[in-house]
Amino acid sequence: MEQEFQTVKRNLPRDLFLHLLAIVTLYWSAISFVTLLWQFINNYFPDKLTNYYSGNFSLSLIRFNVSAIIIVFPVFILISWFLNKIYKKEAVVRESKIRKWLIYLTLFIASLVIIGDLIFVINQFLGGEITVRFILKSLSVLLVAAVIFGYYLDDVRREMPTKLAKYFAWVSGILVLAAIVGAFIIVGSPTRARLMQFDQQKISDLQNIQSQIVNYYQRKSVLPNSISDLNDSISGFAEPTDPQTKASYEYVVNDAANLSFKLCANFNKENQNSNESYYYGNNDKWNHQAGRVCFERTIDKQLYPASTKVKSEIDIKAIQTK
């Protein structure tokens, strides 16, 4: 009796670790899987209203969750397999209170998360999100929750593991693999992602240059002759270069009198989903094709008037010239 008690006591830390790790990896995998499904829905069933305000489709979310599920889900399968081997040798481990408490506790916490997710979905629907997205997101949460709840509520009542564990592992593995493949179809290869990051940095640089040109005009009432004219040691602005080629960005004054100019750069990939920039009243966009692309810009003198002091100095010089 004393020997049996010591054996059980010696295995308590192991049991706690394995069961806790299995539960954590299960729900981490489930949350990542549902998040991927929601991003697939956002991508294939776009809603212009929600995208305009919140940009709810996110490549970064897809990348993070597919990375998480690639690591976490195999850990869950491996730990579950190892626990089933222990159950066959030590039935007392399966009947331990640690296992049952953790299962019921995490099911309770997961139920709160699921309720919160459904509340969010319904709130989005009431806020104007299209019906198809609402139905698909609701079904994705309910189906994942039903599978997990059904399996574990059945498993916790049984004295020994059944073949249901193998079916659960195979079905969930196939679904996770399909989600990973779908994510790579949308996100693309790491090489493509790197090229797109270069393009995003180029757009950010052009936006910064554009803003500096507007500030330059407001201070001096003329367009700069070159980007180097914008360099300012006090504000800290220094002429950026293409992060990929280290070449200077192209800036051309089309019409100095009408404050028209263009900014050009070479891009790797086409991007028709760039965020809008609000430097100007007409909401200039930064969508672009692959290759050399120029963005035509014209400063609105009414929206961005030059400094009054600058105007006065120009008028005085004009009078002195006459």
Judgement on whether residues 139 and 163 belong to the same structural domain of the protein:
yes
Q: Is the pLDDT of residue 68 over 90?
A: yes
Phi then psi dihedrals of residue 290, to 5 deg: -75, 150
pLDDT at 6: 43
Q: Average pLDDT in the 223-238 region?
A: 90
pLDDT at 209: 95
Residue 316 lies in a domain: no
pLDDT at 291: 92
Residue 320 lies in a domain: no
Enter the tokens of residue 157.
């009542």
Do the Cβ atoms of 300 and 280 come closer than 8 Å?
A: yes
Judgement on whether residues 262 and 127 belong to the same structural domain of the protein:
no
Instruction: Give the separation between CA 115 and CA 222, rounded to whole angstroms.
Output: 59
Residue 317 lies in a domain: no
Pairwise pLDDT comparison (100 vs 170), residue with the higher score: 170
Domain boundary among 124, 155, 188: 188
Do the Cβ atoms of 249 and 241 come closer than 8 Å?
A: yes
pLDDT at 161: 61
Phi then psi dihedrals of residue 114, to 5 deg: -65, -45
Distances (CA, A) of 248 to 195, 207, 208, 242: 18, 15, 14, 6
Domain boundary among 169, 188, 207: 188
Judgement on whether residues 165 and 239 belong to the same structural domain of the protein:
no
Strand partners, 293: 265
- The side-by-side arrangement of strands in the sheet containing 291-298 is 250-255, 260-267, 291-298
**227: domain range?**
192-308
Domain count, the chain: 2
Least confident stretch, 130-139, 248-257, 313-322? 313-322
Tell me the Ramachandran region of residue 36: left when phi exceeds 0, alpha when psi lies from -120 to 50, beta otherwise.
alpha
Judgement on whether residues 175 and 64 belong to the same structural domain of the protein:
yes
Judgement on whether residues 172 and 145 belong to the same structural domain of the protein:
yes
Judgement on whether residues 176 and 208 belong to the same structural domain of the protein:
no
Pairwise pLDDT comparison (143 vs 319), residue with the higher score: 143
Judgement on whether residues 49 and 137 belong to the same structural domain of the protein:
yes
Average confidence score pLDDT of the chain: 79
Judgement on whether residues 151 and 197 belong to the same structural domain of the protein:
no
* Each residue's pLDDT tens digit, 71-87: 999 999 999 888 878 87
Q: Is the pLDDT of residue 106 over 90?
A: no
Query: pLDDT-derived band of residue 10, with 50, 70 and 90 as boundaries?
Result: very low
Residue 315 lies in a domain: no
SS (H, E, C) 50-93: HHHHHCCCCHHHHHHHHHHHHHHHHHHHHHHHHHHHHHHHCHHH
Query: pLDDT-derived band of residue 234, with 50, 70 and 90 as boundaries?
Result: confident
* Each residue's pLDDT tens digit, 248-297: 999 999 999 899 999 999 999 887 654 433 333 344 578 889 999 999 99
Dihedral sign computed on CA atoms, order 215, 219, 222, 226: negative
Question: What does pTM read for this prediction?
Answer: 0.66
Q: Average pLDDT in the 159-175 region?
A: 77
Query: pLDDT-derived band of residue 50, with 50, 70 and 90 as boundaries?
Result: low
